[in-house]
Protein backbone atom coordinates (compact mmCIF):
# COMPACT_ATOMS: atom_id res chain seq x y z
CA UNK A 1 0.00 0.00 0.00
CA UNK A 2 1.42 3.37 -0.99
CA UNK A 3 2.24 5.59 2.04
CA UNK A 4 0.17 8.75 2.41
CA UNK A 5 2.09 12.03 2.14
CA UNK A 6 2.51 14.00 5.38
CA UNK A 7 -0.12 16.70 5.93
CA UNK A 8 1.13 20.22 5.27
CA UNK A 9 0.97 22.84 8.02
CA UNK A 10 -1.41 25.42 6.52
CA UNK A 11 -0.69 29.09 7.22
CA UNK A 12 -2.92 31.98 6.13
CA UNK A 13 -1.22 35.38 5.88
CA UNK A 14 -3.63 38.36 5.82
CA UNK A 15 -1.66 41.44 4.68
CA UNK A 16 -2.80 44.32 2.47
CA UNK A 17 0.75 45.43 1.55
CA UNK A 18 1.31 43.10 -1.43
CA UNK A 19 5.10 43.38 -1.37
CA UNK A 20 5.35 42.77 2.36
CA UNK A 21 2.83 39.95 2.24
CA UNK A 22 4.73 38.21 -0.56
CA UNK A 23 7.93 38.65 1.45
CA UNK A 24 6.40 36.87 4.46
CA UNK A 25 4.87 34.20 2.23
CA UNK A 26 8.20 33.52 0.53
CA UNK A 27 10.07 33.45 3.85
CA UNK A 28 7.67 30.96 5.46
CA UNK A 29 7.53 28.83 2.29
CA UNK A 30 11.24 28.05 2.72
CA UNK A 31 10.05 25.30 5.03
CA UNK A 32 8.72 22.59 2.66
CA UNK A 33 6.28 21.43 5.37
CA UNK A 34 4.44 24.77 5.28
CA UNK A 35 1.65 25.60 2.85
CA UNK A 36 1.24 29.39 2.85
CA UNK A 37 -1.72 31.28 1.39
CA UNK A 38 -1.77 35.08 1.06
CA UNK A 39 -4.92 37.21 1.42
CA UNK A 40 -4.99 40.99 0.84
CA UNK A 41 -7.93 41.73 3.18
CA UNK A 42 -10.22 40.25 5.78
CA UNK A 43 -13.00 39.98 3.20
CA UNK A 44 -10.74 38.09 0.81
CA UNK A 45 -9.77 35.66 3.57
CA UNK A 46 -13.34 34.84 4.61
CA UNK A 47 -14.50 34.42 1.01
CA UNK A 48 -11.46 32.53 -0.21
CA UNK A 49 -10.47 30.15 2.59
CA UNK A 50 -11.70 26.61 1.93
CA UNK A 51 -10.22 24.57 4.80
CA UNK A 52 -9.49 25.47 8.39
CA UNK A 53 -5.89 26.71 8.46
CA UNK A 54 -3.48 25.64 11.19
CA UNK A 55 -2.37 29.22 11.83
CA UNK A 56 -3.37 32.72 10.74
CA UNK A 57 -1.26 35.88 10.77
CA UNK A 58 -3.13 39.17 10.52
CA UNK A 59 -2.00 42.72 9.82
CA UNK A 60 -3.42 44.98 12.54
CA UNK A 61 -4.05 47.85 10.10
CA UNK A 62 -6.11 46.46 7.23
CA UNK A 63 -8.19 48.83 5.06
CA UNK A 64 -11.47 46.96 5.37
CA UNK A 65 -11.53 45.89 9.04
CA UNK A 66 -9.80 46.85 12.28
CA UNK A 67 -7.30 44.35 13.64
CA UNK A 68 -9.20 43.61 16.86
CA UNK A 69 -12.45 43.03 14.94
CA UNK A 70 -10.72 40.70 12.49
CA UNK A 71 -9.19 38.78 15.39
CA UNK A 72 -12.65 38.36 16.94
CA UNK A 73 -14.18 37.11 13.69
CA UNK A 74 -11.35 34.66 12.99
CA UNK A 75 -11.48 33.15 16.49
CA UNK A 76 -15.28 32.93 16.33
CA UNK A 77 -15.12 31.13 13.00
CA UNK A 78 -12.28 28.83 14.09
CA UNK A 79 -12.30 28.42 17.91
CA UNK A 80 -8.86 27.61 19.29
CA UNK A 81 -7.06 28.60 16.08
CA UNK A 82 -3.64 30.18 16.76
CA UNK A 83 -3.54 33.79 15.51
CA UNK A 84 -0.40 35.94 15.33
CA UNK A 85 -0.94 39.69 15.05
CA UNK A 86 1.67 41.77 13.19
CA UNK A 87 1.63 45.53 13.73
CA UNK A 88 3.78 48.61 13.27
CA UNK A 89 2.83 49.83 16.73
CA UNK A 90 3.96 48.48 20.10
CA UNK A 91 1.70 50.20 22.63
CA UNK A 92 1.30 48.11 25.78
CA UNK A 93 -2.45 48.77 25.92
CA UNK A 94 -2.97 47.44 22.39
CA UNK A 95 -0.90 44.35 23.09
CA UNK A 96 -2.79 43.59 26.30
CA UNK A 97 -6.17 44.01 24.60
CA UNK A 98 -5.25 41.72 21.70
CA UNK A 99 -3.87 39.04 24.03
CA UNK A 100 -7.10 39.30 25.99
CA UNK A 101 -9.08 38.75 22.78
CA UNK A 102 -7.18 35.54 22.10
CA UNK A 103 -4.11 36.43 20.05
CA UNK A 104 -1.41 33.80 20.37
CA UNK A 105 1.44 36.23 19.80
CA UNK A 106 2.08 39.85 18.87
CA UNK A 107 4.96 40.85 16.58
CA UNK A 108 6.14 44.37 15.85
CA UNK A 109 6.88 45.22 12.22
CA UNK A 110 10.60 45.92 12.06
CA UNK A 111 13.78 44.40 10.68
CA UNK A 112 13.37 41.37 12.97
CA UNK A 113 9.80 40.48 11.93
CA UNK A 114 10.61 37.69 9.46
CA UNK A 115 12.84 35.84 11.90
CA UNK A 116 10.46 36.44 14.82
CA UNK A 117 7.57 35.10 12.74
CA UNK A 118 9.59 32.05 11.71
CA UNK A 119 10.23 31.26 15.35
CA UNK A 120 6.66 31.99 16.47
CA UNK A 121 5.23 29.66 13.80
CA UNK A 122 7.65 26.93 14.82
CA UNK A 123 6.58 27.23 18.47
CA UNK A 124 2.88 27.08 17.51
CA UNK A 125 3.51 23.98 15.42
CA UNK A 126 5.46 22.28 18.22
CA UNK A 127 2.71 23.03 20.73
CA UNK A 128 0.10 21.68 18.36
CA UNK A 129 2.06 18.46 17.98
CA UNK A 130 2.54 18.26 21.76
CA UNK A 131 6.28 17.87 21.38
CA UNK A 132 8.56 17.58 24.36
CA UNK A 133 9.84 20.84 25.88
CA UNK A 134 12.45 22.44 23.69
CA UNK A 135 14.89 22.59 26.64
CA UNK A 136 15.65 18.90 26.08
CA UNK A 137 15.84 19.24 22.30
CA UNK A 138 18.83 20.61 20.36
CA UNK A 139 17.97 23.97 18.85
CA UNK A 140 18.61 24.61 15.16
CA UNK A 141 21.83 26.46 14.41
CA UNK A 142 20.18 28.35 11.55
CA UNK A 143 17.53 29.77 13.89
CA UNK A 144 19.21 32.55 15.89
CA UNK A 145 15.96 33.40 17.66
CA UNK A 146 15.11 29.84 18.65
CA UNK A 147 16.05 30.76 22.20
CA UNK A 148 12.51 31.99 22.91
CA UNK A 149 11.55 28.39 23.66
CA UNK A 150 13.64 28.84 26.81
CA UNK A 151 13.28 32.59 27.38
CA UNK A 152 9.74 33.67 26.58
CA UNK A 153 9.24 37.02 24.92
CA UNK A 154 9.61 39.08 21.78
CA UNK A 155 10.40 42.59 23.03
CA UNK A 156 13.26 44.53 21.40
CA UNK A 157 15.29 44.14 24.60
CA UNK A 158 15.06 40.34 24.68
CA UNK A 159 15.55 40.08 20.90
CA UNK A 160 18.88 41.86 21.30
CA UNK A 161 19.78 39.24 23.89
CA UNK A 162 18.75 36.47 21.47
CA UNK A 163 21.01 37.95 18.80
CA UNK A 164 24.00 37.94 21.16
CA UNK A 165 23.18 34.39 22.26
CA UNK A 166 23.16 33.28 18.63
CA UNK A 167 26.59 34.84 18.10
CA UNK A 168 27.86 33.13 21.24
CA UNK A 169 26.53 29.74 20.13
CA UNK A 170 28.43 29.94 16.87
CA UNK A 171 31.83 30.62 18.45
CA UNK A 172 33.94 28.68 21.01
CA UNK A 173 34.99 31.73 23.04
CA UNK A 174 34.07 32.13 26.69
CA UNK A 175 30.88 34.04 27.47
CA UNK A 176 30.10 36.40 30.34
CA UNK A 177 26.49 37.20 31.30
CA UNK A 178 25.57 40.22 33.37
CA UNK A 179 22.10 40.84 34.73
CA UNK A 180 20.08 41.50 37.84
CA UNK A 181 19.07 38.69 40.17
CA UNK A 182 16.15 36.70 38.78
CA UNK A 183 16.55 37.64 35.10
CA UNK A 184 17.35 34.09 33.93
CA UNK A 185 21.12 34.00 33.51
CA UNK A 186 21.28 30.20 33.79
CA UNK A 187 18.64 29.84 31.06
CA UNK A 188 20.77 32.02 28.79
CA UNK A 189 23.81 29.84 29.47
CA UNK A 190 21.80 26.67 28.83
CA UNK A 191 20.35 28.09 25.61
CA UNK A 192 23.83 28.88 24.28
CA UNK A 193 24.98 25.36 25.15
CA UNK A 194 22.00 23.69 23.46
CA UNK A 195 22.57 25.61 20.25
CA UNK A 196 26.35 25.21 20.18
CA UNK A 197 28.54 22.42 18.81
CA UNK A 198 28.87 21.13 22.39
CA UNK A 199 25.16 20.35 22.71
CA UNK A 200 25.83 16.60 22.99
CA UNK A 201 28.19 17.19 25.90
CA UNK A 202 27.19 17.91 29.50
CA UNK A 203 25.90 21.24 30.78
CA UNK A 204 27.01 21.77 34.38
CA UNK A 205 25.78 24.76 36.41
CA UNK A 206 27.36 25.93 39.65
CA UNK A 207 26.20 28.78 41.92
CA UNK A 208 29.42 30.04 43.48
CA UNK A 209 27.52 32.03 46.13
CA UNK A 210 25.96 28.80 47.44
CA UNK A 211 29.27 27.04 48.20
CA UNK A 212 31.18 27.66 51.46
CA UNK A 213 34.54 29.24 50.64
CA UNK A 214 36.50 26.33 52.14
CA UNK A 215 34.80 23.88 49.77
CA UNK A 216 34.98 25.85 46.50
CA UNK A 217 38.29 24.35 45.34
CA UNK A 218 37.07 20.80 45.92
CA UNK A 219 33.74 21.52 44.19
CA UNK A 220 35.42 22.94 41.10
CA UNK A 221 38.46 20.69 40.76
CA UNK A 222 37.59 17.59 42.83
CA UNK A 223 39.78 15.88 45.38
CA UNK A 224 41.51 12.57 46.09
CA UNK A 225 40.84 10.30 49.04
CA UNK A 226 42.55 11.64 52.17
CA UNK A 227 43.25 15.06 50.67
CA UNK A 228 41.77 16.65 53.81
CA UNK A 229 39.73 15.69 56.84
CA UNK A 230 36.45 14.23 55.64
CA UNK A 231 37.72 13.30 52.16
CA UNK A 232 36.75 9.64 52.45
CA UNK A 233 36.92 8.97 48.72
CA UNK A 234 37.73 10.50 45.36
CA UNK A 235 35.42 13.32 44.25
CA UNK A 236 35.04 14.43 40.63
CA UNK A 237 34.89 18.22 40.37
CA UNK A 238 32.63 20.34 38.19
CA UNK A 239 35.34 20.96 35.60
CA UNK A 240 35.72 17.22 35.02
CA UNK A 241 31.95 16.74 34.95
CA UNK A 242 31.71 19.39 32.22
CA UNK A 243 34.53 18.01 30.06
CA UNK A 244 33.60 18.14 26.36
CA UNK A 245 30.65 20.35 27.32
CA UNK A 246 29.85 23.65 29.01
CA UNK A 247 30.52 24.80 32.58
CA UNK A 248 28.36 27.64 33.87
CA UNK A 249 29.73 29.48 36.90
CA UNK A 250 27.06 31.76 38.33
CA UNK A 251 28.00 34.63 40.67
CA UNK A 252 31.64 34.46 39.58
CA UNK A 253 32.23 37.73 41.42
CA UNK A 254 31.98 35.91 44.76
CA UNK A 255 35.21 33.93 44.21
CA UNK A 256 37.92 34.29 46.84
CA UNK A 257 41.20 35.75 45.47
CA UNK A 258 43.04 32.47 46.09
CA UNK A 259 40.49 30.52 44.02
CA UNK A 260 40.58 33.24 41.35
CA UNK A 261 44.31 32.55 40.96
CA UNK A 262 43.78 28.79 40.66
CA UNK A 263 40.93 29.24 38.20
CA UNK A 264 43.09 31.49 36.04
CA UNK A 265 45.83 28.86 35.91
CA UNK A 266 43.35 26.14 34.89
CA UNK A 267 41.93 28.33 32.12
CA UNK A 268 45.41 29.22 30.83
CA UNK A 269 46.84 25.70 30.89
CA UNK A 270 43.60 23.85 30.00
CA UNK A 271 44.45 21.23 32.58
CA UNK A 272 43.98 20.75 36.32
CA UNK A 273 44.83 18.59 39.30
CA UNK A 274 42.41 17.32 41.90
CA UNK A 275 43.04 18.56 45.43
CA UNK A 276 45.58 16.18 46.95
CA UNK A 277 46.34 14.60 43.58
CA UNK A 278 49.34 14.69 41.27
CA UNK A 279 47.85 13.60 37.94
CA UNK A 280 47.23 16.36 35.42
CA UNK A 281 43.81 16.13 33.78
CA UNK A 282 43.36 17.64 30.33
CA UNK A 283 40.26 19.79 29.94
CA UNK A 284 38.10 20.72 26.97
CA UNK A 285 35.45 22.91 28.57
CA UNK A 286 33.55 25.92 27.29
CA UNK A 287 33.21 28.40 30.17
CA UNK A 288 30.17 30.62 30.65
CA UNK A 289 30.14 32.93 33.67
CA UNK A 290 27.51 35.21 35.15
CA UNK A 291 27.25 37.89 37.79
CA UNK A 292 24.95 40.68 38.93
CA UNK A 293 28.03 42.76 39.81
CA UNK A 294 30.02 45.11 37.60
CA UNK A 295 33.27 43.14 37.38
CA UNK A 296 35.14 46.07 35.85
CA UNK A 297 34.40 48.02 39.04
CA UNK A 298 35.44 45.02 41.14
CA UNK A 299 38.77 45.01 39.27
CA UNK A 300 39.20 48.72 40.03
CA UNK A 301 38.52 48.06 43.72
CA UNK A 302 41.06 45.24 43.74
CA UNK A 303 38.56 42.51 44.66
CA UNK A 304 38.74 40.72 41.29
CA UNK A 305 41.88 39.86 39.32
CA UNK A 306 42.30 41.87 36.15
CA UNK A 307 43.96 39.00 34.26
CA UNK A 308 41.10 36.66 35.17
CA UNK A 309 38.59 39.33 34.20
CA UNK A 310 40.00 39.54 30.67
CA UNK A 311 40.27 35.73 30.47
CA UNK A 312 36.59 35.10 31.26
CA UNK A 313 35.04 38.20 29.65
CA UNK A 314 35.01 36.74 26.12
CA UNK A 315 31.70 37.66 24.51
CA UNK A 316 29.63 39.76 26.96
CA UNK A 317 25.84 39.45 27.11
CA UNK A 318 23.71 41.87 29.14
CA UNK A 319 20.37 40.38 30.19
CA UNK A 320 17.65 43.07 30.45
CA UNK A 321 15.57 43.40 33.63
CA UNK A 322 11.91 42.51 33.28
CA UNK A 323 10.81 46.15 33.66
CA UNK A 324 12.50 46.90 30.31
CA UNK A 325 10.73 44.09 28.45
CA UNK A 326 7.28 45.67 28.08
CA UNK A 327 4.74 43.25 26.54
CA UNK A 328 6.89 40.24 27.49
CA UNK A 329 5.48 40.59 31.01
CA UNK A 330 2.04 39.41 29.88
CA UNK A 331 3.51 36.65 27.69
CA UNK A 332 5.57 35.33 30.60
CA UNK A 333 2.64 35.62 32.99
CA UNK A 334 0.41 33.53 30.72
CA UNK A 335 3.20 30.97 30.32
CA UNK A 336 3.75 30.63 34.08
CA UNK A 337 0.02 30.45 34.74
CA UNK A 338 -0.54 27.70 32.17
CA UNK A 339 2.44 25.72 33.45
CA UNK A 340 1.24 25.95 37.05
CA UNK A 341 -2.30 24.83 36.19
CA UNK A 342 -0.96 21.90 34.18
CA UNK A 343 1.47 20.78 36.89
CA UNK A 344 -1.14 20.85 39.64
CA UNK A 345 -4.00 19.67 37.44
CA UNK A 346 -6.07 22.81 37.94
CA UNK A 347 -8.55 23.99 35.36
CA UNK A 348 -7.05 26.61 33.01
CA UNK A 349 -7.04 30.17 34.33
CA UNK A 350 -7.18 33.36 32.27
CA UNK A 351 -5.67 36.75 33.05
CA UNK A 352 -8.32 39.47 33.17
CA UNK A 353 -7.54 42.67 31.30
CA UNK A 354 -7.30 44.57 34.59
CA UNK A 355 -4.87 41.97 35.97
CA UNK A 356 -2.73 42.27 32.84
CA UNK A 357 -2.63 46.04 33.24
CA UNK A 358 -1.56 45.67 36.88
CA UNK A 359 1.20 43.25 35.90
CA UNK A 360 2.56 45.60 33.22
CA UNK A 361 2.54 48.60 35.60
CA UNK A 362 4.77 46.95 38.24
CA UNK A 363 8.58 47.35 38.13
CA UNK A 364 9.64 43.85 39.35
CA UNK A 365 12.71 44.30 41.56
CA UNK A 366 12.88 40.50 41.64
CA UNK A 367 12.52 40.24 37.84
CA UNK A 368 11.22 37.05 36.18
CA UNK A 369 11.64 35.01 39.35
CA UNK A 370 9.33 37.43 41.19
CA UNK A 371 6.75 37.36 38.39
CA UNK A 372 6.66 33.56 38.50
CA UNK A 373 6.12 33.59 42.27
CA UNK A 374 3.35 36.20 41.99
CA UNK A 375 1.51 34.19 39.31
CA UNK A 376 1.74 30.91 41.22
CA UNK A 377 0.33 32.58 44.32
CA UNK A 378 -2.43 34.18 42.23
CA UNK A 379 -3.37 30.76 40.86
CA UNK A 380 -3.76 29.50 44.41
CA UNK A 381 -5.78 32.51 45.54
CA UNK A 382 -8.12 32.66 42.54
CA UNK A 383 -11.63 31.33 43.15
CA UNK A 384 -12.96 31.75 39.62
CA UNK A 385 -11.86 31.01 36.08
CA UNK A 386 -9.63 34.07 35.74
CA UNK A 387 -6.98 35.99 37.63
CA UNK A 388 -8.15 39.38 38.88
CA UNK A 389 -6.08 42.31 40.22
CA UNK A 390 -6.86 41.38 43.83
CA UNK A 391 -5.20 38.00 43.26
CA UNK A 392 -1.87 39.63 42.35
CA UNK A 393 0.16 40.37 45.48
CA UNK A 394 3.42 42.31 45.15
CA UNK A 395 3.95 43.01 48.87
CA UNK A 396 7.70 42.95 49.65
CA UNK A 397 8.63 40.86 52.71
CA UNK A 398 10.12 43.91 54.47
CA UNK A 399 6.65 45.27 55.30
CA UNK A 400 5.95 44.07 58.81
CA UNK A 401 2.15 44.02 58.82
CA UNK A 402 1.57 42.28 55.47
CA UNK A 403 4.56 40.04 56.07
CA UNK A 404 3.25 38.73 59.40
CA UNK A 405 -0.35 38.37 58.22
CA UNK A 406 0.58 35.55 55.83
CA UNK A 407 0.50 32.95 58.65
CA UNK A 408 3.51 30.94 57.53
CA UNK A 409 5.47 28.34 59.44
CA UNK A 410 8.67 29.44 61.19
CA UNK A 411 10.72 27.68 58.49
CA UNK A 412 8.79 29.50 55.75
CA UNK A 413 9.36 32.84 57.49
CA UNK A 414 13.06 32.01 57.78
CA UNK A 415 13.27 31.25 54.05
CA UNK A 416 11.46 34.49 53.17
CA UNK A 417 13.72 36.60 55.40
CA UNK A 418 16.90 35.04 54.02
CA UNK A 419 15.68 35.32 50.41
CA UNK A 420 14.94 39.00 50.99
CA UNK A 421 18.42 39.64 52.41
CA UNK A 422 20.11 37.66 49.62
CA UNK A 423 18.42 39.90 47.05
CA UNK A 424 19.02 43.09 49.03
CA UNK A 425 22.73 42.44 49.71
CA UNK A 426 23.59 40.79 46.38
CA UNK A 427 24.15 37.28 47.82
CA UNK A 428 26.86 38.48 50.20
CA UNK A 429 26.49 35.56 52.61
CA UNK A 430 29.06 36.68 55.23
CA UNK A 431 27.40 40.11 55.51
CA UNK A 432 23.89 38.59 55.69
CA UNK A 433 24.97 36.10 58.37
CA UNK A 434 26.38 38.97 60.43
CA UNK A 435 23.24 41.12 60.06
CA UNK A 436 20.87 38.25 60.94
CA UNK A 437 23.06 36.83 63.69
CA UNK A 438 23.12 33.30 62.23
CA UNK A 439 25.82 31.00 60.92
CA UNK A 440 26.96 31.18 57.31
CA UNK A 441 26.46 27.42 56.99
CA UNK A 442 22.72 27.85 57.67
CA UNK A 443 22.38 30.17 54.68
CA UNK A 444 24.62 28.05 52.44
CA UNK A 445 22.60 24.94 53.27
CA UNK A 446 19.28 26.62 52.41
CA UNK A 447 20.69 27.91 49.10
CA UNK A 448 22.21 24.55 48.18
CA UNK A 449 18.95 22.73 48.97
CA UNK A 450 17.02 25.16 46.78
CA UNK A 451 14.93 26.42 49.72
CA UNK A 452 15.73 30.08 48.98
Per-residue pLDDT tens over the stretch 56-89? 999 888 888 888 889 888 888 888 889 998 887 6
Q: Is the pLDDT of residue 140 over 50?
A: no
Q: What is the pLDDT of residue 408?
A: 64
What is the per-residue burial (b if ≥16 Cβ within 10 Å, else e) of 159-186?
bebbbbbbebbeeeebbbbbbbbbbbbb
Closest CA to 144 of 159, 122, 133, 126: 159
β-bridge pairing 281-282 and 105-108: unpaired
Per-residue pLDDT band for 245 (boundaries 50, 70, 90) equals very high
Integer angstrom CA distances of residue 244 from 166, 196, 202, 247: 20, 12, 7, 10
Closest CA to 37 of 16, 62, 19, 10: 10
Which alpha helices (DSSP H) does 177-256 contain, by range?
A: 185-194, 216-221, 238-241
pTM value > 0.85: no
Per-residue pLDDT band for 6 (boundaries 50, 70, 90) equals low
Q: What is the pLDDT of residue 37?
A: 93
Q: Is the pLDDT of residue 362 over 90?
A: no
Q: Are 67 and 46 in contact (CB under 8 A)?
A: no
Amino acid sequence: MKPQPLKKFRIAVIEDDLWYGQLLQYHLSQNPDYEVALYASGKEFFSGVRERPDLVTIDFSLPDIAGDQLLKKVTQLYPGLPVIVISAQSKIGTVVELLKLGATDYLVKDEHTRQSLWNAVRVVRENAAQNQPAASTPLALDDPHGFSTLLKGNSPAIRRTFDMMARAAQTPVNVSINGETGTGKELVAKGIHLQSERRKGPFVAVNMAAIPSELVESELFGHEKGAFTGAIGRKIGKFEEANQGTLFLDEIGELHPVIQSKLLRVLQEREMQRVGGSDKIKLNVRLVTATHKNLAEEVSKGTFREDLYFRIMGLPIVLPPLRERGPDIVVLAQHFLAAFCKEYQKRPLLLSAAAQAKLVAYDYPGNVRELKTVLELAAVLSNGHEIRPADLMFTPPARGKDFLSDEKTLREYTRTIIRYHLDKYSNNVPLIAEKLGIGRSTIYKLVQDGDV
